[in-house]
Structure 1
């Protein structure tokens, strides 16, 4: 069994190979070759933490495993990342453990890859302004991945805690783009593509603010009770997701679905667009929403890339006695 540290993961997986892995595994889900298992997600009642286990199996790629971890809101004060997780891969033929992979970096790049994939498939080709709601740890990954898919001329951003906005400004500068701090309503009026990446429990963006033709990648809602968007946004737009069952139970669509404003069969698994079963954007005026709930197979796909690259580069530590 091999152990790959955070340092190893950073050296082995970046935006491009993560993007390819996520695209491939979403297509596998659409073809019925891979499936995610039911998610365990629990409030620990300790340290304000939410802990979960996500697992799945890709039959074609023989990727079997799980990711265990969650969100510890006090970690930043300790100099740690709030999200903490580890991926374990197993031999699909024998069930023996193959690798344990530190997954904080991998979670960030696979989340960014999913939103970037939604931009690639669903955003208008003439997009110019990228908006982001949220300025935490994952915001840099989101912006870095997004600018690889469209030629944006400006980034606009808002965060509930304004003192974190310099994080976005620094990232924009590193990407060679100007940055403006705006209100949520101003953000919606300016942006062609909007990424939301917060841990909010109530909506930041209202339906009446959204312009025709906007694409929204909603990446923060992955637990029952979280919410970033007015449910009416999903009711007026075309909704795509990584996993429909997660979308209506723990994703952004949970609120519109519970209110009867969005039918289950109106939500499209984004892999169906990749394999050509479903059209993505139908017109330049259409509002498209990607509900990125985060699925196990994303994690397992990027961990497999890390494991294969580690073998080639002789990285990692053997845990075999």
Structure 2
């Protein structure tokens, strides 16, 4: 028999830290830009009558000889209707040498952490080092994780949050978790105008951050836009910003970059770099304190693969999880 390790959410949570995730995602970005990752286009299915979507992200890390697939759902009525998170995910890892599934694990926390890690990496490469004021556009779980992750690497003093709903609850919960940071509910304009780092983490299909609000020196992490039609940023911002993508191909199709690209405001030549190129030292990050920078991140399967592989290896080392017998090798 060949064993497959099962890891539930609590087991994943016991094994994973945001700092470990940042390192795993960094390695994944660099592997992608070294050309040792195969990533087919993302497959998305819409469940309109349930206000939901399912994304299937897959990839092959030739560096690790691991194939991974993540099935991730975004069901925005879940918290009210089913007392479930709006984001649910499962990840499967396969041995690339033989196709055997070596691990099946809950991907909800991994998705949250790897997305927060992406924002942190974008800020480390592109934000001013003295950034201390954050504009958080969004009030969901990812809006919480983005701030949590950033606070490990930046001396954050103020977070101004804007959301269609849940602002007061966000402020109350985050203030209790991060007593050294001052949280306040404001308008989107007030939040952006007073920020060195702007984070968007919503499911919006319309611009929420406008060009005239963005001051010189601002860095923007565009996190929520990951499907055709979604939008969080005014396309005009891109015309005066240094644009960095996680993947040019995916961001032009699914990220906020799609809108200025389709409008003819920018071309391929205006996309400065992919984040892995900056991490590898092939392209520069922030060059001065007055630059406006944008990191547009749609999410790459290699982030999930690398983070899941870290969790799997740590689980094996610490004897965590349950083994099941999937294949009888005598068949």
Partner of 1:316: 321
- Asked if 1:290 corresponds to 2:295, the answer is yes
Answer yes or no: is the 8 Å Cα contact 2:223–2:297 preserved in 1: yes
Pairing of 1:148-163 with structure 2 (within 5 A): 148-161=152-165, 163=166
CA offsets per residue over residues 28-82 of structure 1, 9 Å max, x none?
1111122321110121344122112110111112221110122112211211011
2:147 to 130, 133, 143: 143
Pairing of 1:189-228 with structure 2 (within 5 A): 189-228=193-232
* Residues in 1 aligned to 2:324 and 2:310: alpha-carbon distance in whole angstroms: 19
CA offsets per residue over residues 8-41 of structure 1, 9 Å max, x none?
1111111010000000110111111223211101
* Residues in 2 aligned to 1:45 and 1:131: alpha-carbon distance in whole angstroms: 31
Answer yes or no: is the 8 Å Cα contact 1:212–1:286 preserved in 2: yes
SS at match of 1:138: helix
Answer yes or no: is the 8 Å Cα contact 2:5–2:104 preserved in 1: yes
Answer yes or no: is the 8 Å Cα contact 1:119–1:149 preserved in 2: no
Partner of 2:329: none
Deviation at 1:85, TM superposition (A): 1.1
Q: 1:140 to 1:66 in 2, by over 3 A?
A: same
CA offsets per residue over residues 216-271 of structure 1, 9 Å max, x none?
00110011111000011122101111111110001111111111112124322100
Pairing of 1:16-35 with structure 2 (within 5 A): 16-35=19-38
Answer yes or no: is the 8 Å Cα contact 1:3–1:100 preserved in 2: yes
Partner of 1:74: 77
Deviation at 1:188, TM superposition (A): 1.4
Number of corresponding residues: 320
- Asked if 1:168 corresponds to 2:181, the answer is no
- Asked if 1:40 corresponds to 2:43, the answer is yes
SS at match of 2:264: coil
Taking structure 1 as the reference length, what is the TM-score of the superposition? Answer: 0.97
1:278 to 265, 280, 283: 283
SS at match of 1:320: strand
Pairing of 1:219-238 with structure 2 (within 5 A): 219-238=223-242
Deviation at 1:95, TM superposition (A): 1.1
SS at match of 2:115: helix
